[in-house]
Amino acid sequence: MSEEGFEVPSPHDHAVEEVGHGADEFSGRIAVMTAILATLGAMFGYEGGATQNEAALLKNDAAIKTTKASDTWNYYQSKSNKQNLAELALTLPNVDQEKYKADIERYKQEKEKIKSDAEKIEAEVDKLNERSAEEMHHHHLWARATTAEQIAISLAAITLLTRKKWLQYAAYAVAAGGIALGAFAWFQ
């Protein structure tokens, strides 16, 4: 302020005052849209991360069960080997035939139970792998929705710089596509 009591504002002061008083309605709309898109993108990103983690946990559980199934099949194989040895022993002279016949029958029964257990474990593995694949599908939907929102935010920034209405509408269209993908992911 000068000593006479009046002030001559600079062009910068004038521009700051206009923005501060909401004189640029276009910029304000783009800023609000960007904030909403960033929020939606963050929510979609969170859901995408959660579904990816769930898919990884299910895949890990499937791997653990696969090891258990393998161990069970190995146990089945060991019983088969014992049964084969007992059958071979029956062909030898001067052996207790009844003992080896009983052993063979016992091994057959044990193998049936072991085989049933191994097949049940393999069925569980298949279910876990299917659920993991479903979760990864959901993850990809969330990731696409997040990506669309990020592209819309980028278009909004370019719109703000260029002040092109067609870019604003493009940002709206991409954002709507991202919201649709997010809704689709949510209801799956």
pLDDT at site 135: 95
- The Cα–Cα gap between 34 and 183 comes to 19
Give CA 15 to chain center in angstroms. 47
Q: Which residue has the tokens 């819309």?
A: 152
pLDDT at site 107: 95
Using alpha carbons, select from 112, 104, 109, 105 the residue that is nearest to residue 87: 104
- The Cα–Cα gap between 124 and 119 comes to 9
The H-assigned helical ranges of the chain are 11-20, 25-90, 97-162, 165-186
Specify the 3-state DSSP secondary structure of 100.
helix
pLDDT at site 11: 60
For the chain, how far is it from start to end, CA to CA, in angstroms?
65
pLDDT in tens, the chain (188 residues): 455 666 766 665 555 565 555 548 888 889 999 999 999 999 999 999 999 999 999 999 999 999 999 999 999 999 999 999 999 999 999 999 999 999 999 999 999 999 999 999 999 999 999 999 999 999 999 999 999 999 999 999 999 999 999 999 999 999 999 999 999 999 98
Using alpha carbons, select from 139, 121, 133 the residue that is nearest to residue 52: 139
- The Cα–Cα gap between 174 and 109 comes to 64
pTM: 0.73
